[in-house]
Structure 1
Amino acid sequence: MQQKKDRRNFLRNLALGGVAVGAAPSTLFASTNESPIEKEQQSCRQFTKEEHDRVFNGPYVGHHLDKIAFPIGGIGAGMFCLEGSGAISHVSIRHKPELFHEPTIFGAVAIKGRANSAKVLEGPVPDWKLFGYKDYGGGSGGTTYGLPHFEQAEFLARFPFAEIQLRDDKFPLQVRLEAWSPFVPSDADNSSLPVGALTYRFINTSQENLEAVFSFNSRNFVVQPEGEGSIKKIQKGFLLSQAKTEGKNNLATDFAIFADTRDEVIVDYCWFRGGWFDPLTMVWNTIKDANVKAVDPIDKDAPGASLFIPFQLGANEEKEIRILMAWYVPESNEKAGQAMPDDKTGKEACCTTPAALGMGEDKPIPTNYKPWYSQRFKHMEELVDYWKTNYTTLYKNTALFRDTFYASTLPPEVLEAVAANLSILKTPTVRRQHDGRLWAYEGIFPHNGCCDGSCTHVWNYAQALPHLFPSLERSLRLTEFCENQNAEGHQGFRANLPISPLKHDFHAAADGQLGGIMKVYRDWRISGDDEWMKKLYPMVQKSLDYCIQTWDPNGKGILEEPHHNTYDIEFWGPNGMCTSFYLGALKALIEMGRYQRKNMKRYETLYDRGRAYMEDQLYNGEYFIQKIQWTGLKAPDPTKAQSFHTQYTPEAIEILKKEGPKYQYGTGCLSDGVIGAWMAAMCGLENPLDQEKVNSHLRAVHQYNLKNDLTDHINPQRPTYAMGHEGGLLLCTWPKGGMLSLPFVYSNEVWTGIEYQVASHLMQIGETDKGLEIISACRKRYDGRIRNPFNEYECGSWYARAMASYACLQAMTGVRYDAVDKVLYIDSKIGDFSSFLSTDKGFGLVSLKNGQAKLDVVYGEIPAKEISLSGKKVRLG
């Protein structure tokens, strides 16, 4: 979508003498025979040490297409996926995952006057669907698998766009398909729409004039057994509809499919009704004969509908047809968590609500989850009208994000890793409730979410959301420090859905609660909103005071008492991982307190003590370890302490006597061993630890924990994240001996979120090659043959921790915008570069060339007054 040339006047360069504010034209990325993206890929090949049969950030072909499922939808609004072949699957619009739901939604084209000239607009059906897939024993009846498909497909991801090319040597039309849904950083509302678009472009490769018919077809998949379904008229399309029934408002569902075109559109609102395979058989007869006619709607029980668009193409001519989709499910029966009884007071009382802090308005809490979009749009017609009316603007702004992001000259494996995991935000992993606040699972299983409640110690790792949609990230902080925190400062690490005061009946999570304090600092610096920070500060201080009282009662600056963490167990005794979080949280509170001119002496003393202890007592000369301690504590004996799945059988008690509590890491080299220092860097805080010791730990993790081949690795836990001849970064190893009989659960596994955490931290200290080795090993596992490239899983699909990949942008370039001081920071570890930057109010492209810095602001504003280039600050005019 071209913009007017005079909009170039809004683009200003930020070199060492000017600030850029405003919007840039999309013509900044002019079309050439060789795209800027391809040029940047070529220029970055030097970063990729080892080639394999698919180029990072390049197209997927052959068996690399097999497992692709690319999410289309809005943040917290549900999704469908576009597969590598072009098939539509994983249709999950009812506020829960329905993975592998493939309800016979398909495009097709037929050429009049030719035999065997009708094809489904998809490439070959992947082999894995033929045997071992759902209903394979019944022959996958009622699917489109047995209809003619194109012989070849090629898939290219340019998030949030997916592009597919379909070819068949015996067919005179080539087809290009573009699928997308709105995604505009800093514009959370337009990025949360329950919509998607498919644009088909047909190219006549023959020397003949062709007369063809395009169709888009769907079963009425929204109908539920206990409800009454119908297919209704809408302009140039049809509406699949399910009415609510008495006592089951959650059944109400509308799914609109319509053509955005000036062409004639003929609609069949009711497929042939009959038994066995009659409906699909008869609709395919209509498609292949290209002899279409309109069929009026009936009151109920129409099995499906189709829209048809006849068109003609001369030799080498092209035709574009756009299909828009929208869905509207205003109610659900979804809820999660355990609400606090209304009569609780004192320690069990909830601290406050966002409204009480002046950070929102009180709204009634519904019994079940209601999506944000149901409050934004009163009904389906309003949503459809908004989608149609604003399509051009939404496309333009989304394409502007895509073009700006892919203009980055960072290594292709990095761009691929970052972009692939942004797809998580478009899946049922994420919810956006009635008041606009975000809520999330850790990941999702085929029919339900996994590990509910915006789990704080998992979302610690996810660095994409705070930069792309800072308002949504800040909504997580409100939940954590309001409804999730009681009067004592205990913070539950899993929020209720709908969000409401928690019942506090389990441990707080040390890494989650301490990481949340650091994230308040980060979110304040990203937003520049002093009032937001000041209003939340008393709750943050109370939270840290609880952590001190509970885990550091002797005021040593370390976590001595047993503390729950992201490995779903408690660490007994001080360790590098959680102590580094503690030091980072102390540092964050100190900085926020100093900004408000508060006396922070108590916290400064704790920080100094803790740092000295960690560097003197927990550092073994190469990396940081854990000192296991389980006697002389306030906590009860480990056999009596509250824990999750930590049973002490007689044989386990024998291990306790010899080694200490189950599920520790002791002398191990833990990949998360200095994660608090990583979080500090991502938050814009000074390193809370000695830099050289941190560097040494990270190099040790790379040396000992990165395995290029896991064939001989022993993993009795969850092996399929990485196994066999694949490579990956193990969570922990014991290179100096001392491996425990039962180390912490998951210790033998490979998690992509931790791979990205370590890789980006290595890059941040200048070890770019080592970081890229880890990322390369990870992305080779997700190349489409065995795993979906757009679904890095851990405990469930589309696992939130994988959004740690976004940290690589800041780590490699040092690019960070501080909206409080209005300073743009740059500290490149890779020499000259161009890199995407997203802030609270806009996004753009930061470049460094020959020591000169430049910022192109292409959307919104980034009002920088100063630039810090490798520590040297220069005031801007």
Structure 2
Amino acid sequence: MPQKSDFYPREALYAQGGPLLYEGERLNEIAFPLGGIGAGCVSLNGRGALVDWEIFNRPNKGAILPYAFTVLWAKAEGQAPVVRVVQAPPRPPFSGQGKVEFSGIGFGVQREDGSGFPHLRTAIFRGEFPLAEITFTDPALPVQVRLEAYSPFIPMDADRSGMPIAVLRYHIANPGPAPVAVSLAANLKNIIGYPGHGPMVGREARKWLGGNLNTFVEKGGVRGLFFTSERVAPGDPSFGTMALTTTWPEVWHQCAWLRGGWFDMMHDYWDHLAESGRLPERAYGPSAEGESDVGTLGLTAHLEPGEEVTLPIFITWHFPTFIKYWGEPSCPCQEGCERPTWRNYYATLWEDALDVAQRYAAQEAYLYGETRRFHDALFGSTLPRA
């Protein structure tokens, strides 16, 4: 039997090695969690899509929030614009997956996740908790794109490590000889009223919606969209707020996509964005029964040759009331009893999703710096790679 030292040579134990990079088919099984400890989470998959929306106080693997994707418009001086969803191409089956209404075999890819729009060509994923990084490539694009995603994670600081926030930092560089204008359009649907389980699209999902309102806000160092509901009462487990914001100064917005039938809103969205790199301002009142709106926040920049910018997007949520959804109600009659509820700890620290974004923005350099410092200490050690 070989000696133990034969298994692990000294140089192997002390060698740091390079980072683990994932590409091609290896991207298919990645789901990197974003969201503070005890605050719920959404996951970033290997292609760059946001999946497994579990921000509603219960597990919900496989849940896809409709229209929660980001599009990049880039126009080099003297050239036609190039427009891409900031994700690697969708994975098969392309004939339909049959998970929700109107998405079975024969219906094609699910339009609600932007699958029908042009995507970037490839992605390389690097996941080193609490930081995820995706480097995208596309020969048609006049800029280079890298996404860095995280939520604050600072050892010995439970409150700041428990923020209900996903931070998406898009690093965009111009390696070419000509100036490039860019516009980054982040989309999010107001789904307040959703109970935290079940489909997020189709007729089944509509019964939770109605009275949803999207407004543009600029307050406390952030600007963007604030999502509320006039239908769901405070104290209800489905009550809460969401926000899509940034600290970037040059922005445009559309509070609500076109309210129309069939595929009108997606045609309207893409036609305007592809042509000019922005959407016209539009806002409606509270949504009708069974309906809700998608909003878009756009960030613009002008890059000279060799220049790079970081465009930050903050997705925040605040659903304060937790309901004991498992087991039986704690009363002898069983029928008609209300399940116990309690207030999430994070709801004692921040008033709503906009407050979360503002408080993060006020400490952004510190929160990112300390999270990065922990990451560098952990992954700069001589511990073997996982």
Give the TM-score range, shorter chain.
0.7 to 0.9
Alignment counterpart, residue 340 of structure 2, candidates 367, 376, 379: 367
Q: 1:510-552 CA deviation, whole Å, 9 max, x = no partner?
A: xxxxxxxxxxxxxxxxxxxxxxxxxxxxxxxxxxxxxxxxxxx
Aligned-residue offset at 1:185:
1.4
* Cα distance in 1 for residues equivalent to 2:79 and 2:160: 44
Aligned-residue offset at 1:218:
1.9
* Cα distance in 1 for residues equivalent to 2:10 and 2:301: 43
Aligned-residue offset at 1:307:
1.5
Aligned-residue offset at 1:278:
1.6
Alignment counterpart, residue 278 of structure 1, candidates 252, 256, 264: 264
Contact 1:211 1:310 in 2 (8 A): yes
| Residue 268 of structure 1: aligned partner | 254
| Residue 111 of structure 1: aligned partner | 74
Aligned-residue offset at 1:281:
2.0
* Cα distance in 2 for residues equivalent to 1:97 and 1:114: 47
* Cα distance in 2 for residues equivalent to 1:121 and 1:44: 43
Aligned-residue offset at 1:126:
2.1
| Residue 121 of structure 1: aligned partner | 86
Q: In the superposition, relative to structure 1, how do residues 248 and 163 fare at CA in structure 2: closer, same or farther (>3 Å)?
A: same
Q: Is 2:242 the counterpart of 1:249?
A: no
Q: 1:289-332 CA deviation, whole Å, 9 max, x = no partner?
A: 12535524322125211112222112222121011121011114
Q: Is 2:294 the counterpart of 1:324?
A: no
* Cα distance in 1 for residues equivalent to 2:380 and 2:355: 36
| Residue 24 of structure 2: aligned partner | 62
Alignment counterpart, residue 153 of structure 1, candidates 123, 131, 137: 123
1:374-393 residue pairs with structure 2 within 5 A? 374-393=347-366
Pick the structure with greater CA Rg.
1
Q: In the superposition, relative to structure 1, how do residues 56 and 100 fare at CA in structure 2: closer, same or farther (>3 Å)?
A: farther
| Residue 449 of structure 1: aligned partner | none
* Cα distance in 2 for residues equivalent to 1:110 and 1:162: 23
What root-mean-square deviation, in Å, do the aligned CA atoms of Structure 1 and Structure 2 show? 2.7
Question: What amino acid sits opposite 2:112 in the alignment?
Answer: G
Contact 1:129 1:136 in 2 (8 A): no
Question: What amino acid sits opposite 1:397 in the alignment?
Answer: E
Q: Which runs of 5+ in 2 are unaligned?
A: 1-8, 195-206, 333-338
Contact 2:68 2:113 in 1 (8 A): no
Alignment counterpart, residue 173 of structure 1, candidates 138, 143, 161: 143
Aligned-residue offset at 1:220:
2.4
Q: Is 2:84 the counterpart of 1:97?
A: no
Aligned-residue offset at 1:407:
1.4
Q: In the superposition, relative to structure 1, how do residues 44 and 196 fare at CA in structure 2: closer, same or farther (>3 Å)?
A: farther
Question: What amino acid sits opposite 1:146 in the alignment?
Answer: G
Q: In the superposition, relative to structure 1, how do residues 276 and 192 fare at CA in structure 2: closer, same or farther (>3 Å)?
A: same
Aligned-residue offset at 1:151:
0.6
Q: Is 2:373 the counterpart of 1:400?
A: yes
Contact 1:230 1:241 in 2 (8 A): yes
Contact 1:213 1:290 in 2 (8 A): no
Aligned-residue offset at 1:154:
0.4
Aligned-residue offset at 1:89:
1.2
Contact 1:91 1:101 in 2 (8 A): yes
| Residue 211 of structure 2: aligned partner | 228
Three-state SS of the structure 1 residue aligned to 2:271 is: helix
Q: 1:145-179 CA deviation, whole Å, 9 max, x = no partner?
A: 11111111000012111000010112211101000
* Cα distance in 1 for residues equivalent to 2:301 and 2:330: 61
Question: What amino acid sits opposite 1:250 in the alignment?
Answer: P
| Residue 12 of structure 2: aligned partner | 46
| Residue 87 of structure 1: aligned partner | 49
* Cα distance in 2 for residues equivalent to 1:253 and 1:339: 23
Question: What amino acid sits opposite 1:76 in the alignment?
Answer: G
| Residue 134 of structure 2: aligned partner | 164
Aligned-residue offset at 1:216:
1.1
Three-state SS of the structure 1 residue aligned to 2:53 is: strand
Aligned-residue offset at 1:247:
9.2
Three-state SS of the structure 1 residue aligned to 2:270 is: helix
1:545-556 residue pairs with structure 2 within 5 A? none
| Residue 182 of structure 2: aligned partner | 212
Question: What amino acid sits opposite 2:229 in the alignment?
Answer: Q
Q: 1:663-683 CA deviation, whole Å, 9 max, x = no partner?
A: xxxxxxxxxxxxxxxxxxxxx
Aligned-residue offset at 1:192:
1.1
Contact 2:82 2:140 in 1 (8 A): no
Q: 1:651-704 CA deviation, whole Å, 9 max, x = no partner?
A: xxxxxxxxxxxxxxxxxxxxxxxxxxxxxxxxxxxxxxxxxxxxxxxxxxxxxx
Contact 1:239 1:255 in 2 (8 A): yes
Question: What amino acid sits opposite 1:159 in the alignment?
Answer: F
Contact 2:51 2:64 in 1 (8 A): yes
Q: 1:539-580 CA deviation, whole Å, 9 max, x = no partner?
A: xxxxxxxxxxxxxxxxxxxxxxxxxxxxxxxxxxxxxxxxxx
Contact 2:316 2:354 in 1 (8 A): no
* Cα distance in 2 for residues equivalent to 1:336 and 1:101: 19
- Number of residues of Structure 1 aligned to a counterpart in Structure 2: 341
Q: In the superposition, relative to structure 1, how do residues 247 and 205 fare at CA in structure 2: closer, same or farther (>3 Å)?
A: closer
* Cα distance in 1 for residues equivalent to 2:179 and 2:18: 39
Q: Is 2:227 the counterpart of 1:240?
A: yes
Three-state SS of the structure 1 residue aligned to 2:340 is: coil
Contact 1:82 1:88 in 2 (8 A): yes
1:805-816 residue pairs with structure 2 within 5 A? none
Question: What amino acid sits opposite 2:250 in the alignment?
Answer: E
* Cα distance in 2 for residues equivalent to 1:127 and 1:45: 43
1:840-859 residue pairs with structure 2 within 5 A? none
Q: 1:626-657 CA deviation, whole Å, 9 max, x = no partner?
A: xxxxxxxxxxxxxxxxxxxxxxxxxxxxxxxx
Q: In the superposition, relative to structure 1, how do residues 279 and 340 fare at CA in structure 2: closer, same or farther (>3 Å)?
A: closer
* Cα distance in 2 for residues equivalent to 1:247 and 1:237: 23
Question: What amino acid sits opposite 2:61 in the alignment?
Answer: L
Contact 1:273 1:279 in 2 (8 A): yes
Contact 1:44 1:409 in 2 (8 A): no
Contact 2:241 2:352 in 1 (8 A): no
Question: What amino acid sits opposite 1:234 in the alignment?
Answer: V
* Cα distance in 2 for residues equivalent to 1:276 and 1:334: 38
Aligned-residue offset at 1:373:
0.9
Contact 1:90 1:100 in 2 (8 A): yes
Q: 1:228-273 CA deviation, whole Å, 9 max, x = no partner?
A: 2111222221012234536971221211111111x32111111111
Contact 1:335 1:369 in 2 (8 A): no
Q: In the superposition, relative to structure 1, how do residues 268 and 192 fare at CA in structure 2: closer, same or farther (>3 Å)?
A: same
Three-state SS of the structure 2 residue aligned to 1:71 is: strand
Three-state SS of the structure 1 residue aligned to 2:341 is: coil
Q: Which runs of 5+ in 1 are unaligned?
A: 1-42, 49-54, 343-365, 417-877
* Cα distance in 1 for residues equivalent to 2:174 and 2:217: 31
* Cα distance in 2 for residues equivalent to 1:130 and 1:405: 43
| Residue 288 of structure 1: aligned partner | 274
Three-state SS of the structure 2 residue aligned to 1:127 is: coil
Aligned-residue offset at 1:141:
3.4
Question: What amino acid sits opposite 1:119 in the alignment?
Answer: R
| Residue 305 of structure 1: aligned partner | 295
Three-state SS of the structure 2 residue aligned to 1:386 is: helix
Q: In the superposition, relative to structure 1, how do residues 368 and 287 fare at CA in structure 2: closer, same or farther (>3 Å)?
A: same
Q: 1:427-477 CA deviation, whole Å, 9 max, x = no partner?
A: xxxxxxxxxxxxxxxxxxxxxxxxxxxxxxxxxxxxxxxxxxxxxxxxxxx
* Cα distance in 1 for residues equivalent to 2:277 and 2:24: 34
Contact 1:253 1:327 in 2 (8 A): yes
Question: What amino acid sits opposite 1:313 in the alignment?
Answer: L
